Amino acid sequence: MKKISQGEVEREFQKALAVEYVKNYCKKNGLSIQKLRKQNFALCDNECAFYVQPIDYVKTDQLVIDGGPKPQVTLIIRHEKEELQIEETEYTKVFLKKE
């Protein structure tokens, strides 16, 4: 049986909550929830983000700390003044637009 850490479970749960929160926003703005679900997710402090990383980067001998293509953030949820705000980035339409 695959062992899953508590941290992993919590991250999955955080991501599920975030996806649920942006569902209506995505519907209204023509963004794909399916695509969003497949993206990476990070939460720190008062904000969380969905992001993509190019997976076809093969020049591993040239990779150093912070080397290679940078992650591209597609959608941010921010908690400010007791309110949640959704923020798009330059990559939102590129990676999340419905086909």
Partner 1 sequence: MLGLLKEAAVGGVMGGIKDVREQRRNTNLTIMSRNSGRGNPNAITHFGAELNTRQKNLLQQLPDYDSSIIVKKGDVNLKDLSALTAETGNEFAMFTRGSQRMIIRGNSNKVNINGSMAQELYNAGFKWSGHTHPGTGINVKLESIGDKYILKQFNQRQSVILDDQGRINIFTIGE
Q: Which is nearer to partner 1, 2 or 28 (CB)?
A: 2
Query: Which span (12-20, 21-29, 31-39, 55-63) binds partner 1, by CB under 8 A?
Result: 55-63
Of the pair 37, 98, the CB lying nearest partner 1 is at 37
The whole-angstrom separation of Cα 49 and Cα 40 is: 8
The residue among 27 and 70 lying less far from partner 1, judged by its C-beta, is 70
Residues near 59 by beta carbon (within 8 Å), at least 6 away in sequence: 68
Distance of CA 89 to the CA centre of its chain: 12
Separation of alpha carbons 8 and 80, rounded Å: 26
Interface residues toward partner 1, by CB under 8 A: 7-8, 11, 42, 44-45, 47-49, 51, 53-54, 57, 60-71, 73, 76, 89
